[in-house]
Amino acid sequence: MMLNRTSLLFVALSCGLVFTPAAALRAQQPDTPSAQPSGGQEPDPLKRERSDKEKFAAQKAVRQELKGAFKTWLEQDATYIISDEERRAFKNLSNDEEREAFIENFWLRRNPNPDSPDNEFREEHYRRIAYANEHFAAGKPGWKTDRGHIYISFGKPDSIDSHPSGGSYQRPIDEGGGETSTFPFETWHYRYIEGIGENVDLEFVDTCQCGDFHFTIDRGEKDALMHVPGMGATQWEEMGQAKKADRFKGGFETLGTGPLSQSQSSKQFDRIELAAKVFAPPPIKFKDLESFISEHKLLSGPVFPFDVRTDFVKVTENTVLVPVTLQMKNRDITFITKNGVARGVVNILGKVTTLTHKTVQTFEDTVEVTQPAELLEKSLDRQSVYWKALPLLPGLYRLDIAVKDVNNPDHIGIYGRGLDVPTYHDEKLATSTLILADQMNAVDSHSIGSGNFVIGNTYIRPRVSANAATPASFKRSQQLNFWMQVYNLGIDEATKSNHATVTYQITDTKANMVVLEKQLDANDLGTHSDQLTVEKTLPISGLQPGKYKVTIKISDGISKQEIAQSVPFVVE
């Protein structure tokens, strides 16, 4: 089975609540004493109602937190491509660590090739900014100009009709005809802009003749003789069929009247709509799926089933990696066969929100599954799995996902669950999720820490079950792979090593009998670290069909703490 285009990109924007420091609150206290409640008790200053002046001061303090490189990134680097929702989420973050995670995920979401460590979108974006600053500066940085804005958003136009000095200009008949003189102007032509359409013409005029070409929807604005009496008449005005004053009788364009003036008048609102689109951030592509998540719209057609698994891996005390695995049965995807190739296409849209319904991330992708037509029937009993890791802060979230079978538009599936991201305290022995995988192997040095199904230096594809109550299933011909990390082990100050004991067991749950037990040597797992990674591959051909569980136990000889994780599985 081949996967075309890109795998599912799950990225998240970390969010946080903003708290005003206690010192700032004390500084905001009024000089006059507040009324005391009966009984002579002092009122609780944290429960009293703040004045409008105090609220304004607190809001100002929050706004002032966004400064330096983060302010530059928001107001310069990403200002033309960030959505309003993302902008609000970024402004609500409370510390620099959250902002750094947000920026990293912002670029990851837009990476056209998530498997590559190089982000082509980001590199091209900054190349465009540099080009705009070099070529479009006009008393202000080039990225601030309208030409810079358009170039950064859409890249180099397919062609440019440039009149850098203005001068004599023969109007086309749809602009009234006749000859006039113009200010410097340029018309940029794009053969196609996604989300806008084909044959897009954008006009820029330098009315100040200072090099600042601004975007205009009025093609008559470039006419330098428009306000000069007796000069620059259109062809119809010269023939006595119209008056120059007619250009200013209404409408958004100041073009002269003529045989095509009526049709041009009807297109003025199209030009306003065009202006709104070219200066807007990239829109969400799958609006039809957004309603199922945002409005909890009911499904009207057959349900598109899919399974989701989430795991938790510590990165720092305040950041947790949340690998999300999405699995679909090929039989549930509609394939269309053309030229000997069967092709299925699925649109995926997701949203991560806080308990207060604040959106911290939206993500979307189109994924394809292709098969040679003659092998399609055999592949229908297989499953397609997509994966991405989300760095999130500890806390409660809601994860919503909607998928649509593109070849069968009424075939839609939705998923919504709470996401309780754990907190890993420094002094407490803890572990990641215990992951059972159908594939696991070490990756090369270039792939460490990046790419789908990669955690650290290990490629691990989780086995996904229908729900938490249904164990993962393995065939006897397969191998059982399990992976888990251990955190916050004690370190002996003298030897600079941990004294951890790691034991794993396979238990027949029906017979309540341990069928395999082995102790791992901590020296092989990382004796000089307070963190261990336990990963093991076991053949299960000797196990009879039935229900089992794998258990990993960790005993810390220094901190005297113990912890264990167990996961059930089924052998077919």
190 within some domain:
yes
In a domain, 455, yes or no: yes
CA distance 465 to 568: 11
The stretch 340-354 carries a mean pLDDT of 87
Residue type, position 251, single letter: G
DSSP string, 400-446: EEEEEETTSTT-EEEEEEEEEEPP--TTS-EE---EEEEEEEE--GG
Classify residue 170: in a domain, yes or no: yes
pLDDT value at position 508?
94
| Number of domains present in the structure of the chain | 2
Domain of residue 450, CATH code? 2.60.40.2550
Q: What stretch of H or E contains 186?
A: strand 185-193
Q: Most confidently modeled of 227-236, 261-270, 479-488?
A: 479-488
Query: Tell me, what's the pLDDT at 12?
Result: 33
96: pLDDT strictly greater than 80: yes
367 in a domain, yes or no?
no
**Of 278, 313, 336, which closes a domain?**
278
Q: What's residue 285's pLDDT?
A: 57
Host domain of residue 474: 425-572
137 inside domain: no
- For the chain, percent of residues with pLDDT exceeding 90: 24
Count of Cβ atoms closer than 10 Å to residue 290 Cβ = 17
Predicted TM-score (pTM) above 0.85 = no
Query: Which of 278, 299, 319 is at the close of a domain?
Result: 278
Q: What does the pLDDT look like over 6-16, one tens digit per residue?
A: 333 333 333 33
| Residue range 230-257: mean pLDDT, rounded | 72
Contact assessment for residue 167 and residue 152, using Cβ atoms and an 8 Å cutoff = no
Q: Name the pLDDT band for 147 (thresholds 50, 70, 90).
A: very high
Q: Select from 278, 310, 337 the last residue of a domain.
A: 278
327 inside domain: no
Please report whether residue 310 resides in a domain: no
195 has pLDDT over 80: no
Question: pLDDT tens for residues 27-76?
Answer: 444 443 433 444 455 555 545 566 766 656 655 555 555 678 888 899 88
Query: Does some domain include residue 377?
Result: no
